[in-house]
Structure 1
Amino acid sequence: MGNYEQAISLIFENIEMMDYFGECSDSLIRLAEEALGVRYPDDYRDFVSRFGAGNFGSSEIYGVFKEDFENSSVPDSVWLTLLEREEIGLPHYLVIIYELGNGELYCLNYDKLNSVGEPTVTAFVPNGKPNTDEILYESFGDFLLNIVTGELE
């Protein structure tokens, strides 16, 4: 979790740039995992546990912050993932963690695991050719570090 720990350290050094929902309980995280049919990787689980979901600078990172997954909104990853599974056929092995603003979604991909057996981060473009085979980041920690360093530049 080296890149993840570096990202968290940078977030806390620049906490004034972080707008977040607050801590998420283990029981709520387990409910989210059950609703999605996945087990979060350790780095994402830790992020959600600490922040729930939120913005670092202008980058909004989706997470878990309330139990009502049916009546929520962005940046609720569970709500959006379940909605997109139903509305656009988002594959069940994807969990949305970020949206680029052009419709492209960054997802934890449980079909493409890294060397330690955790999901990588890939892109999904609704109404386009799915590009979930291209690994953008080897882990959520790699993704988060890129987001944080990009916002600090």
Structure 2
Amino acid sequence: MGIREAEQFVQLVRDHPEESVFAGGCSEADVAEAEQRLGATFPESYKLFLRELGDCDVAGEELFGIVHCDGQMLGAVAETLDLRESVGLPFSLVAFRPDGMGGYFVLDTSRADSDGEAPVYAWGSGASSPTEPEYIGTDFGTVALDLVRHGLRDV
């Protein structure tokens, strides 16, 4: 699981240009730099998203990736580093989406499965507690596909 759903998610974004804004794909070097800055290995489904779209908003569903602006690497890198410093986000977590309640959807890179896919949790105010994140799904691709399908149904 994960890669196939991530591919479907990317195609869905591309099939709905009127509802989609995305930064454009990132290079392998950008992905490697982001992993190095965060001290994390990204799951393949998230890497596919980064390489194909970079960062996106689809029908109001915002997903952080990698965006370069004025020499800085923004998106998931900046958000994750800021959360680590400001509220103690654990180093194994990578924030990729606001949850709408003051918290974030995160990839738990310390719990990657045998395929390297990391489960998704809600961390922060929307979760039951910051130390016990709420389980959202098995991998980035599946969660992203579900979010975008839901968002596009509402437009």
TM range (shorter): 0.7 to 0.9
Higher RCO (CA 8 Å, separation ≥ 6 residues): 2
Question: Match for 1:150: what amino acid?
Answer: H
1:92 maps to 91
Corresponding residue pairs, total: 147
Shift of 1:24: 1.2
TM-score of the pair, normalised by structure 2: 0.86
For residues 6 and 65 of structure 2, what CA distance do their matches in structure 1 show? 16
For residues 111 and 91 of structure 1, what CA distance do their matches in structure 2 show? 10
For residues 5 and 54 of structure 1, what CA distance do their matches in structure 2 show? 14
For residues 60 and 143 of structure 1, what CA distance do their matches in structure 2 show? 12
Aligned Cα root-mean-square deviation (Å): 1.9
1:125 aligns with 2:124: yes
Question: Match for 1:104: what amino acid?
Answer: G
Q: Is the 1:105–1:124 contact (alpha carbons within 8 Å) kept by the matching residues of 2?
A: yes
1:32-87 per-position Cα deviation (integer Å, ceiling 9, x unaligned): 11000112111111111111112011111001122524xx5xxx110010011011
- Structure 2: which 5+ residue stretches go unaligned? none
1:11 maps to 13
2:143 maps to 143
* Structure 1 stretches of at least 4 aligned residues deviating more than 3 Å after TM superposition: none
1:152 maps to 152
1:22 maps to 24
- Structure 1: which 5+ residue stretches go unaligned? none
1:38 aligns with 2:37: no
For residues 144 and 6 of structure 1, what CA distance do their matches in structure 2 show? 10
Deviates more, 1:27-36 or 1:3-12: 3-12
User: Identity, % of aligned pairs?
Assistant: 29
Q: Is the 2:96–2:107 contact (alpha carbons within 8 Å) kept by the matching residues of 1?
A: yes
Question: Match for 2:94: what amino acid?
Answer: V
Deviates more, 1:110-119 or 1:12-21: 110-119
Q: Is the 2:45–2:117 contact (alpha carbons within 8 Å) kept by the matching residues of 1?
A: no
Q: Is the 2:65–2:96 contact (alpha carbons within 8 Å) kept by the matching residues of 1?
A: yes
